[in-house]
Chain A
């Protein structure tokens, strides 16, 4: 099955390790991801600062292009921010005829048609539902034995639209990591918000949330945290030092779930972008492997 692929701005920038690992894992599993031609920003934060109807049209351009070029393919969207924005657009045009009318007109001015027939899906959803744990298990050559993982979902992958998992207590990643041979620690903050852009706009708030999330994972004796979102990863990795300076020492690597999947499939750390972590996960990975060998 072929999927269309919407990377979004973060996966081409600070979250490029996410793109590298998503593409590597899907390629290894023999699933084609075809990047949408000339995609634009999903509209995420712009949504609140412009006429909202035009911001829906901004998101809809991507959906229309995907539908035009790959009518049968669901759209895979790894960034939680893009995922919720694109999904919201699909829902809102169904619920509000006036908005649908506006979006249709805006796309029409650009010569685009959109029938709202492209499902927007997260790679975690695709891997769990379409690929399935059996196929994933078959692909495992280096089980993650001894590695203790805190599964951190963040907010927008499950709320408000996701149908593939629970909105407060999701378990997709938990089940995936167990299938990879790892130990999943109980992590009660799994869907608490990372603070989004607050680390930049209101650091006294954002850094505190970052610290709480990292500290909780350490308290649960996790070797590392796994995330599904480039903004969560950025906050928890890039602001970890600043959060530690403000609130106390904590050393918790945070990597993408696709990097863990790739490692278990025997792909190289380099290919999966692990060298892009600021708080390196390499010692945690080595330590777990050594502990498992004993």
Chain B
């Protein structure tokens, strides 16, 4: 019989992880959480999460880094800020979710073809190159990489958008690309 450990020993938790979350903007207050569950109650995406926002905050502050970063929850957050404005302890939960998404991407602990993270990267690359986003192209790219079947099922949508003059493949560009490059280069982490 292959017996797997299902509960962590205290020594297996990572204080470093907790400290890192707390060092990021918005993460400072996670220790103040009283586990009331208001965040989970007001979250429109709770139904689709593998762990509720309340659980994520608890696990983050107790140092369960791997579990938190592998959770689907952080990718289901649409940043509607309902939890943030309702939290009785003033925890910026949406910003914590953003911080966790970035930590997951930095460490590569997210499903490579998960559409949300794919979109985030394609979005950034498009901005980096052109300064602006073309939604039609971005949508096409994300469907192609993550769920190409949807390109077929969305043909009707494409036609509707063309008919109403809302579809365009023309890539808008900004003029001062040097300015943009200077802003995005420099002392940040390598991409």
Contact = CB atoms under 8 A, between A and B. Distances in A.
A, B assembled together: yes
Interface of A: 9-10, 12-17, 38-41, 43-54, 57-58, 61, 84, 92, 95-96, 99, 102, 105-107, 109-112, 154-156, 159-160, 167-168, 191-193, 195-198, 200-203, 205, 209, 238-239, 241-242, 275-278
B164 interface: yes
Interface of B: 25, 44-45, 48, 76, 78-82, 84-86, 92, 94, 98, 101-102, 105, 115-121, 123-124, 127, 131-136, 139, 142-143, 146, 150, 153-154, 156-157, 160-161, 164-168, 172, 174-176, 178-180, 182-189, 191
A213 B95 CA distance: 26
Contact of B78 (A10, A111, A196, A238): A196
Contacts of A242: 153-154, 157
B183 A278 contact: no
Contact of B184 (A10, A54, A197, A209): A54
> Which residue, A9, A12, A53, A95, has most C-beta atoms of chain B within 10 A?
A9
Nearest to A56: B25
A49 B105 contact: yes
Contact of A41 (B80, B101, B132, B189): B132
B174 A16 contact: no
B133 A196 contact: no
B160 A200 contact: no
A178 B10 CA distance: 60
Contact of A109 (B133, B146, B186): B186
Contacts of B167: 14
B172 to A, nearest CB: 6
A40 B105 contact: no
Nearest to A40: B131
Given A48-B120, A205-B45, A159 B139 contact: no
Contact of A14 (B80, B81, B118, B135): B135
A51 B188 contact: yes
Contact of A46 (B124, B185, B186): B124
**Most chain A C-beta atoms within 10 Å of own C-beta, residue among B98, B139, B180:** B180
A-B pairs, top 5 by smallest CB distance, nearest first, are A201-B115, A155-B80, A159-B81, A49-B120, A193-B80
A155 B81 contact: yes
Considering residues B48, B117, B134, B183, which has the most beta carbons from chain A within 10 angstroms of its beta carbon? B183
A95 to B, nearest CB: 8
Contact of A156 (B80, B156, B164, B174): B80
A202 B134 contact: no
Given A192-B44, A200-B115, A43 B150 contact: no
B25 A201 contact: no
A95 B164 CA distance: 43
A203 B60 CA distance: 28
A205 B86 CA distance: 23
A13 B169 CA distance: 10
Contacts of A44: 123
B77 to A, nearest CB: 9
B85 A96 contact: no
20 contacts: A9-B172, A13-B134, A40-B127, A41-B127, A45-B124, A49-B121, A51-B188, A51-B189, A58-B183, A96-B25, A110-B183, A155-B79, A167-B85, A168-B85, A200-B119, A200-B143, A201-B116, A202-B116, A241-B156, A276-B164
B101 A205 contact: no
Contact of A197 (B81, B119, B136, B183): B119
A50 B188 contact: yes
A198 B117 CA distance: 12
B134 A9 contact: yes
Nearest to B106: A51
A201 B146 contact: yes
A155 B84 CA distance: 12
Contacts of A192: 44, 80
